[in-house]
Structure 1
Amino acid sequence: MNIIETKQLTKSYGTFTAVSNVDMHIRKGTVYGFLGPNGAGKSTTMKMFLGLTQPTSGTFTIDGKSHPADRVKILSEVGSFIEAPAFYGNLSGEENLDIIRKILKLPKSSVSEALELVGLTQHRKRLAKKYSLGMKQRLGLASALMGRPPILILDEPTNGLDPVGIHEIRSLIRSLPQQFDCTVLVSSHLLSEIELMADDIGILNHGELLFQGTLEELKQNSAAKGYPTDNLEDTFLAIVENDNRKRGVRR
Structure 2
Amino acid sequence: MDTMITTEQLTKKYKNFTSVNSVSLHIRKGSIYGFLGPNGAGKSTTMKMLLGLTAPTKGSFIIDGKHFPNDRMAVLREIGSFIESPSFYANLTGRENLDIIRRILKLPESSVEDALELVGLTEFGGRLAKNYSLGMKQRLGLAGALLGRPPILILDEPTNGLDPSGIHEIRNLIKSLPELYDCTVLISSHMLSEIELMADDIGILNHGRLLFEGSLDELRQSALQAGFSSDNLEEMFLSLIEKDNAARKQRAQL
Return the TM-score normalized by structure 2.
Answer: 0.97
CA distance in 2 between partners of 1:103 and 1:20 (Å): 34
CA distance in 2 between partners of 1:125 and 1:230 (Å): 45
Unmatched 5+ residue regions in structure 1? none
CA distance in 1 between partners of 2:37 and 2:45 (Å): 12
Partner of 1:95: 96
Q: Is 1:197–2:201 an aligned residue pair?
A: no
Q: CA deviation at 1:174?
A: 0.4
Q: Is 1:222–2:223 an aligned residue pair?
A: yes
Q: CA deviation at 1:159?
A: 0.2
Partner of 1:147: 148
CA distance in 1 between partners of 2:207 and 2:44 (Å): 12
CA distance in 1 between partners of 2:225 and 2:88 (Å): 48
- Runs of 4+ in structure 1 deviating by more than 2 angstroms, as ranges, are none
- Superposed, 1:1-251 pairs within 5 Å as 1-248=2-249
CA distance in 2 between partners of 1:113 and 1:68 (Å): 31
What SS is found at the alignment partner of 1:209?
A: strand
CA distance in 1 between partners of 2:41 and 2:7 (Å): 17
Aligned residues: 250
What SS is found at the alignment partner of 2:190?
A: coil
CA distance in 1 between partners of 2:64 and 2:108 (Å): 25
Tell me which amino acid in the other structure corresponds to 2:24.
D
Return the TM-score normalized by structure 1.
Answer: 0.98
CA distance in 2 between partners of 1:71 and 1:124 (Å): 32
Cα deviations by residue, 1:161-208 (Å, 9 ceiling, x for unpaired)? 000000000000000000010000000000000000000000000000
Q: CA deviation at 1:108?
A: 1.1
Q: CA deviation at 1:142?
A: 0.1
CA distance in 2 between partners of 1:46 and 1:198 (Å): 17
Tell me which amino acid in the other structure corresponds to 1:5.
T
Matched-pair identity in %:
70
Cα deviations by residue, 1:113-135 (Å, 9 ceiling, x for unpaired)? 10000010111110001101100
Tell me which amino acid in the other structure corresponds to 1:82.
I
CA distance in 1 between partners of 2:109 and 2:21 (Å): 43
Q: CA deviation at 1:101?
A: 1.0
Q: CA deviation at 1:147?
A: 0.5
What SS is found at the alignment partner of 1:241?
A: helix
